[in-house]
Amino acid sequence: MKFNLIVILLILAEANFSQQGDLQNRFMLAQSYEQIGEYVKAKPIYEELYKAQPNNFTFFQSLNKCYIQLKEYNNSSFLIQQKLSVEKDNISLVGMLGTTLYLNGDEKRAFQLWDDYLKNKNDIISYRTLANTAIELRAFDKAIDLLHRAKLISGKDFYLGYDLANLYALKMDYKKCAEEFITILRVDYKQFPSVESRIFTYAARSEALNVFINVFEDEQPEQFPAIGNILAKLYTASRRYEKAFSLYKTLDNKEQYKGNDLFAFAAQLSLEKEYASAAEVFSYLLKKYPDAPFQLQIKLNLAKNSEARLEIETADSAQLWKTFPSKKYFHEKLYEEPLSIYREVAEKNPFSEQGVEAIFHLGYLYGRKIGDAKESEKSFNNIISNFLFSGFYTDACLVMAAMQLQQGNINKASSFYDKILSNPRANDENKNKAKFWKAKMAFFRGDFTESNKLLRQLVSASGDNISNDALELSFLLTSAFNDSLTLVKFAEGDFALLVNQFDKAGKTFSSLVKTEQTPFLIKQLAELRLIESDISLDRYQQALDQVDSLLKRDEKNIFADKANLLAAKIYRYGLKNPAKAIEEYQNLLLRFPDSLYLDEAREAINKLRNKIS
C-alpha cells in the first residue's frame, strides 16, 4: 500500500513538472513574438498562461504590457482591477492602473486614483513610487506635485530637492531648479559638491546658465560661501571674469580662505587661455599674500601667464601663423615683468625644479623673443650641463638644437638631439622629435638611406604631429628614392626655408614645379612649399592665386586640404578679411570631409564669428 502511494505521488509530480515545463516554453514563445513586435500573436499565449496561473505576477505583467502595446486599454483596466480587488493596497497595481487610464486619455481619473490611494498614506516611499510612474509617463507636473507633498510629509526642507530640481530642469524651468538647489545649500552646506556637480550639468545650456546666475545673485552670495562659490564659478563659465574675481576676493576676505580659491580660479583661467585675466589674479595674490607657502608657484604662474599674454599680443607682428615665419624680435623691455620674476625665482631656488623651469623660460625669451643668442645659450647650457635629470633638460636640448639649425649649424644641432636620445628620462614625444629632426638633417645632407631608416621607426611609433611630418617626408623619399638629384634639390629648398632664405627657397621649388620630369609627389609637395615661401615673403595674392589654381586643377592633390587651410589663414591674418577667411574655412569643411584640419577649421570659424558679432 505504501509503495503504491509513493508511485502515485511520483506520477503526479512528473505531470506537474511536465506542465511547468510546457508553460515555460509557451512563455518563451510569447516573449519571442513580443521581441519582434508581434503582440497580436503574443496576446493569446499570455492570456492562456495567466488563466493557468493567475497568481503568477510575471504572467500578469506580461499580459498587461501586451494590452498596452495593442492599445487595448479597457482589457488592461479590467485585468488590473480584478487584481486590485484582491490586493487592494498594492501600490504597483495602483500605479499600473493609473498608467492605463492616463494612456487612454483619462488623465483626471488617473491622478484622482493616485490621490485617493495616498489620502491616508504618510510614508514617503508611496509618494516617490507614484511620482516615478508619473515621470515615466512624462507627466512632470504631477510628479512635481507628488514630490512636493512628500517633501512636506518628510519635514525636511531639502528632502527630495534633487529630484525636484531634476524635474524642473526637464521642464526647462531653470529658475525653480535653481531655487531647489539654494534650499538644499541653505539647510546643509555639506551638499555643496553634489549641488555644484548637478548645477554645472544643467548650466551647459546658455539659457540655464543665465537664469542660474540671476537666481544666485539674489541670494546674498557674499553672506553664504557655498552659494557665493557656485555663483563665482557660474560667472567664470559665462566669461564674466571681473565679476568672478570680485566675488572671490570678497569671499576670500570674509572666510579667510588664504587665497586658495583665488589660486584655483587663476589656474582655471590659465587653462582656458585667458592669460591676461589669470595674470591679474596671480598679481593680486602676490601682493595680498607675500608670505604664503605657495608664493613660489604664484610667482611662476604670474610670469608664465604674462609671457603667454605677450605671445598672443605679438602674434600678428611675429607672424607665428605662417608655416615658416621670418625672424622677428622684440625689445627686452616688453618682457620686463616675466624676465624679472624668472630671474628672482632662478636666483633664490637654484637647485629646485621651479628654479630650472625659470632658467628655461629665461633662455626661451632671450633666444626666441628678444634675439639675444648669447644670453639664451647661457641659460640653456646651464640646464644641459647641470640638470641632466630635470624635466626641462630635453626641452632645453630641443630649443638649442632648433636655434643651431636656424643658424645652419647641422652638426651642432645633431649633438643636442643625441643628448635627448641618450637621456634615460626623455619622454617618447621628445625622443620622436629628436629622431625626426635627425632624419631631416640626414635628408638635408643627402643621406637618404639614413633618413629613411630613422623615419620608419617614427611612422609606426605614434599618431602625433611629428609622425605626420615623418609620413610626409617618408612619402617624399619613397616616391623618388632613385632620383637623388631631384631629392637633393628639394632638400636645398627645404633647408633654405628653415634658415629664412625664402626667396632662394621659392626659386628652388618653382623650378621643381615647372620641370616635367619631377616625380609626381615631389611636384605636389613642391607646389605647397612654393605657396608657403610666398606667404613667408608676404606675397599673399600670389600665394592665393596658386592655391586657387591648385584646387581648380586637382582637388585630389594629396596636399590640397592644407593649401585650402593656408588660403583661409592668409585672409584671416595676412589680409585681415574675416568674412573671406570664414568662407575658406567652410570650403575646407565641404571639400575635404576627411581632412586632418577639420577641428582647426571649426574652431577658427567659431572664433571669427564671435569676433565679428
**134-162 average pLDDT score:** 90
Distance in angstroms (rounded) separating the CA atoms of residues 204 and 183: 22
- Average per-residue pLDDT in the chain? 91
**CA triplet 252, 257, 263: central angle to 5 degrees?**
80
DSSP 107-167: HHHHHHHHHHHHTT---HHHHHHHHHHHHHTT-HHHHHHHHHHHHHHHT-TTTTHHHHHHH
Cβ contact 547:557 at 8 Å: no
Cβ contact 83:55 at 8 Å: no
Distance in angstroms (rounded) separating the CA atoms of residues 218 and 252: 20
Of the given ranges (295-304, 406-415, 471-480), which has the lowest mean pLDDT? 471-480
Closest CA to 321 of 587, 570, 579: 570
- 521 — pLDDT class (breaks 50, 70, 90): confident
Closest CA to 372 of 333, 409, 345, 340: 333
pTM of the model: 0.80
pLDDT reported for residue 308: 96
Query: Hey, what long-range contacts does 415-418 have (CB within 8 A, 24 or more apart)?
Result: 416/384
CA dihedral 58, 60, 66, 72 (to 10 degrees): -160
Distance in angstroms (rounded) separating the CA atoms of residues 83 and 188: 44
Per-residue pLDDT tens over the stretch 354-382: 999 999 999 999 999 999 999 999 999 99
Distance in angstroms (rounded) separating the CA atoms of residues 18 and 26: 12
pLDDT reported for residue 6: 45
pLDDT reported for residue 610: 86
Distance in angstroms (rounded) separating the CA atoms of residues 175 and 542: 57
Cβ contact 127:146 at 8 Å: yes
**65-69 average pLDDT score:** 93
How many residues can be counted in the chain? 613
Residues contacting 61, CB < 8 A, separation 6+ = none
pLDDT of residue 273 exceeding 90, the answer is yes
Question: Max alpha carbon distance in the chain (Å)?
Answer: 117
Per-residue pLDDT tens over the stretch 557-570: 889 999 999 999 99
Cβ contact 247:231 at 8 Å: yes
pLDDT of residue 467 exceeding 80, the answer is no
pLDDT reported for residue 12: 40
Dig out the grid coordinates for 181 from the structure.
Answer: 538647489
pLDDT of residue 14 exceeding 50, the answer is no
pLDDT reported for residue 480: 78
Dig out the grid coordinates for 372 from the structure.
Answer: 639675444
**78-87 average pLDDT score:** 92
Dig out the grid coordinates for 238 from the structure.
Answer: 559665462
pLDDT of residue 121 exceeding 90, the answer is no
Amino acid at 108: K
Distance in angstroms (rounded) separating the CA atoms of residues 259 and 282: 10
- 155 — pLDDT class (breaks 50, 70, 90): confident
Dig out the grid coordinates for 494 from the structure.
Answer: 627645404
Q: How many CB atoms lie within 10 A of CB 89?
A: 10
Angle between helices 393-406 and 373-386 (to 10 degrees): 140
Distance in angstroms (rounded) separating the CA atoms of residues 37 and 39: 6
